[in-house]
């Protein structure tokens, strides 16, 4: 094997300790190595930096361990210092039965020296901040949904059947009715009068749905959950405002991606937070799809390809893109809707939606890389390769029936 990096360091990261090994190649000998253990406080990290500077280490590899790698990475990758590689733990496993912290750091340094591992994508500071906010927003949205479901469940357990009459129990009308129920001094008729718009035609049903009573304890517990839900509403508004501030430098890319069917503003913000606006960090669209876990795994043995499903990747991107894919799959007037219907008939809806998500990611890649606007192909679009294939297929069928024809349109290859 070729020695690519004569001097490198590997760091095995834990919550309270960092085991660091420096390896130096010296001519034809086995070289020199030294291992030290550091703490994880700020002064310990400075001592680590001083030691690396003393030995003039240009390349450091650290293992991606939970969130514990982040302060180490930020401290070591200060501008003008050295190159820091974040390594996927699955790519640097040691031989079973020979695992210690010291051996792990030595093994990591050795792998890096010979180029046997590749660094993971780590975004810049601004993108990391945006990513943190977007992921927090997704978590709060999930919490918001949980509180809504808990409120509906509590109402059902006491015979309040609003969910059987209202499509959205926590919509404007439903929310007002729930607040009235918690007050404890409104009659079913008064609660039904709070209905808005088309719901007024269901007045008799609403009166029946809210005829049951809530005791004081139930009103208190539902009120607590409703207050938590209202608090989450306020936090989400504050988060959205902060996210918009961080998106300001990427306004052009945001407006560009909003042209793609199925991509709402929250999804666009999430995608830019995860993959960033600069596509030069990914060598190709296929590399980006592989990184996000939207590419099928490759398992070929004895000349046969085995179905192993999609690879593991960034589940956040997969969540947001499949959400967009489900939205666009309902439109039969777009290329995406027709493509989904075609794939779903052959592979099933779940596999088809992953395929649509991957195709959308490829489109996003080229839009961001080339700065091109989105162009809708339409439901009737057929790729040229498929046109040629269909012509060839039907001509073969006609020849088998003894019919010979000549083409006046596109030629069959």
**Helix spans in 158-202 (H):** 172-183, 188-192
Q: Is the pLDDT of residue 412 over 60?
A: no
Whether pTM exceeds 0.85: no
Query: What's the pLDDT tens digit per position in 170-200?
Result: 999 999 999 999 998 899 999 999 999 999 9
What pLDDT shows up at residue 413? 46
Could you tell me which residues come within 8 angstroms of residue 212 by beta carbon, excluding any fewer than 6 positions away? 158, 159, 160, 161
User: Where are the extended beta strands (E) located within 70-209?
Assistant: 83-87
7-113 homologous superfamily:
Ribonuclease H-like superfamily/Ribonuclease H (3.30.420.10)
* Cα–Cα dist 270/117, whole Å: 28
Contact 11, 62 (CB under 8 A): yes
Query: What's the pLDDT tens digit per position in 50-84?
Result: 999 999 999 999 988 888 999 999 999 887 788 99
All CATH 1.10.287 domain ranges of the chain, comma separated, are 126-248
Mean pLDDT of the chain: 89
Higher pLDDT, 89 or 165: 165
All CATH 3.30.420.10 domain ranges of the chain, comma separated, are 7-113
Domain covering 126-248 in this structure, CATH number: 1.10.287
With residue 34 as reference, give the H or E element that holds it. strand 32-38
Among 244, 245, 162, which residue's Cα sits nearest to residue 210? 162
Higher pLDDT, 409 or 75: 75
* Cα–Cα dist 317/282, whole Å: 15
Three-state secondary structure readout of 88-125? CHHHCCCCCCCCCHHHHHHHHHHHHHCCCCCCCCCCCH
Q: Is the pLDDT of residue 218 over 70?
A: yes
Helix axes 349-370, 335-347, angle to 10 degrees: 140
The percent of residues in the chain predicted with pLDDT above 70, rounded, is 92
The single residue listed with the structure tokens 């190649």 is 25
Q: What would the two tokens of residue 53 be? A: 């500077």
> What are the two backbone dihedrals, phi and then psi, of residue 394, each rounded to the nearest 5 degrees?
-70, -35
* Cα–Cα dist 344/360, whole Å: 16
The single residue listed with the structure tokens 């820091």 is 84
> By 3-state DSSP, what share of the chain in percent is helix, strand and coil, each rounded to 5?
55, 10, 35
Query: What's the pLDDT tens digit per position in 363-382?
Result: 999 999 999 899 888 877 77
């Amino acid at each position: 094997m070729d020695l690519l990096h004569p001097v490198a360091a590997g760091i095995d990261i834990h919550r309270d300790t960092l085991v660091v090994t420096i390896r130096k190649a010296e001519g034809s000998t086995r070289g020199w190595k030294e291992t030290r253990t550091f703490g994880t406080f700020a002064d310990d990290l400075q001592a680590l930096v001083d030691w690396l500077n003393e030995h003039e280490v240009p390349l450091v590899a650290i293992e991606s361990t939970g969130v514990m790698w982040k302060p180490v990475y930020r401290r070591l990758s200060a501008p003008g210092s050295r190159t820091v590689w974040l390594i996927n733990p699955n790519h640097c496993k040691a031989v079973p039965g020979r695992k210690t912290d010291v051996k792990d750091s030595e093994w990591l340094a050795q792998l890096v020296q010979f180029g046997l591992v590749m660094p993971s994508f780590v975004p810049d500071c601004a993108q990391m901040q945006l990513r943190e906010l977007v992921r927090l927003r997704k978590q709060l949205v999930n919490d918001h949904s949980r509180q809504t479901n808990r409120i509906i469940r509590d109402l059902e357990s006491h015979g309040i059947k609003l969910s059987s009459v209202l499509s959205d129990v926590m919509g404007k009308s439903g929310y007002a009715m729930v607040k009235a129920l918690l007050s404890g001094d409104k009659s079913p008729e008064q609660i039904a009068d709070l209905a808005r718009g088309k719901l007024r035609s269901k007045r008799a049903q609403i009166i029946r749905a809210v005829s049951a009573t809530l005791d004081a304890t139930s009103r208190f517990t539902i009120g607590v959950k409703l207050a938590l839900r209202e608090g989450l509403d306020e936090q989400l508004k504050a988060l959205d405002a902060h996210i918009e501030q961080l998106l300001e430098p990427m306004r052009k890319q945001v407006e560009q991606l909003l042209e793609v069917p199925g991509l709402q503003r929250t999804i666009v913000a999430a995608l830019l937070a995860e993959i960033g606006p600069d596509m030069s960090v990914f060598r190709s669209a296929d590399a980006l799809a592989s990184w996000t876990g939207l590419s099928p795994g490759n398992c070929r043995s004895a000349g046969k390809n085995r179905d192993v499903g999609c690879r593991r990747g960034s589940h956040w991107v997969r969540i947001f893109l499949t959400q967009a894919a489900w939205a666009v799959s309902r439109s039969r007037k777009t290329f995406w809707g027709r493509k989904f219907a075609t794939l779903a008939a052959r592979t099933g809806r779940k596999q088809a939606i992953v395929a649509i998500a991957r195709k959308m990611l490829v489109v996003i890649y080229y839009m961001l890389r080339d700065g091109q606007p989105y162009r809708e192909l339409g439901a009737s679009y057929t790729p040229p390769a498929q046109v040629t294939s269909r012509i060839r297929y039907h001509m073969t069928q006609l020849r088998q029936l003894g019919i010979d024809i000549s083409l006046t349109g596109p030629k069959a290859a």
